[in-house]
Amino acid sequence: MHSYKQIFKGLIVGILVVAPLSGFCQKEKQNATGVTKGQYGFDADTTYLSRISVTPPEILNQFREAGMSPTEHRLTKEEKEVIAAAFAALPPFHRWVLQEHLKSISFLDNMPNTALTSPIAENGTSKLYHITFRAAILHQNISEWLTEKERTCYQKGDSTYSVSVNGGTLSALTYVLLHEGTHVVDGSMHIIGGDSIAGKLRYNAFTKAFKKHRWNNITTIICPVPNSLVLKNRFRKGGSLFRTSQAAEVYQGLQQIPFVSLYSTSSWHENLAEFLAVYHLTQMLKQPFKIIVTKNGKDVLTYEPIKSPLLRKEFGLMKRFYQVSDIKRPG
């Protein structure tokens, strides 16, 4: 895949649009994180539901230039209740950061990917974001959506084997917002990042701990990989679709590395978003996350990544997203 159209059609959860949007007015009175209250038409004191908007034209144009025609989705009362519940289920640190940095969200019909997190304005080191969601996920549960996503890693045609994910019955938006919200937290608060000092990049403490034994840089994995098949998945550069008959071997390989999903191997930012989403889903919301491979209708492999010793020893890193006692909202 080399054309822009082909690459864009391959987008799924978590791809970032880096071109900032323009045309926002500026006012004064900064809040605790540096974003100016009222700047770019943004007020951090508003509710999440009040931030539902139309999709910025610059984002829509990217779809159209790729030959697609998504349209704005008109939300029902029931769908707004699903959205409110998804925000309420976020970790406390996410809720605080999104209150300060999530300018708006929108929902599209006929959208090719699940969600798109886009930085839309920047004031020095502070950023505001817009998240665009595919409206169809408002009518899927987590298990349905995760299964649909996981099956995109496999060729079609062999009905002998099947891959599914049991992620519980909460709305799919709950998981997707956890993932996309982590991108906003990551980008706004520089969770994974560093500074260039004397021409040398120095990572912050969290990044050092998070990348240790896993990542050399944003996309290069350095941990031992006994079964290299797992890193040939479609989410990594040069990857391709597996045969469904290879599924059990793929997830046996996943068990041997400190990654919670195939998608988490695509970059360290996606690794963080996936790890947090699965951690919060299973440990805080008490929902399952099981990958199941069947042959002729019988289970041949069931894997719960969050129970992996390689991942459980990293649980301490997640404390970063549950500590808000030292942070106060501006009055």
Is residue 20 pLDDT above 50, yes or no?
no
Is residue 214 pLDDT above 80, yes or no?
yes
Is residue 35 pLDDT above 90, yes or no?
no
pLDDT of the residue at 122: 62
Is residue 123 pLDDT above 70, yes or no?
no
Is residue 18 pLDDT above 70, yes or no?
no
pLDDT of the residue at 40: 59
Choose between 55 and 34: higher pLDDT.
55
Lowest average pLDDT, out of 183-197, 256-270, 290-304, goes to 183-197
List 123's β-bridge partners, or say none.
Answer: 126
Share of the chain above pLDDT 70, in %: 83
Q: Give residue 15's pLDDT band: very low, low, confident or very high (50, 70, 90).
A: very low
Check residue 307 and report its DSSP letter: G
Query: What is the average pLDDT across 226-249?
Result: 97
pLDDT of the residue at 43: 85
Choose between 98 and 200: higher pLDDT.
98
pLDDT of the residue at 50: 95
Q: Give residue 22's pLDDT band: very low, low, confident or very high (50, 70, 90).
A: very low
pLDDT of the residue at 198: 67
Mean pLDDT of the chain: 86
Lowest average pLDDT, out of 161-170, 194-203, 238-247, goes to 194-203
Distance, in Å, from the CA atom of 326 to the CA atom of 328, rounded to the nearest integer, reads 7
Is residue 109 pLDDT above 90, yes or no?
yes
Residues 152-194: pLDDT tens digits? 999 998 999 999 999 999 999 999 999 999 999 999 999 998 7
Phi-psi region of 253 (alpha: psi -120 to 50; beta: other; left: phi over 0): alpha
Distance, in Å, from the CA atom of 61 to the CA atom of 68, rounded to the nearest integer, reads 9
Distance, in Å, from the CA atom of 275 to the CA atom of 318, rounded to the nearest integer, reads 9
Q: Give residue 196's pLDDT band: very low, low, confident or very high (50, 70, 90).
A: low
Distance, in Å, from the CA atom of 284 to the CA atom of 281, rounded to the nearest integer, reads 6
Distance, in Å, from the CA atom of 271 to the CA atom of 258, rounded to the nearest integer, reads 10
Instruction: Name the one residue in this structure whose structure tokens are 């931030």.
Output: 51
pLDDT of the residue at 139: 98
pLDDT of the residue at 13: 32
pLDDT of the residue at 27: 28
Choose between 307 and 202: higher pLDDT.
307
Distance, in Å, from the CA atom of 59 to the CA atom of 217, rounded to the nearest integer, reads 28
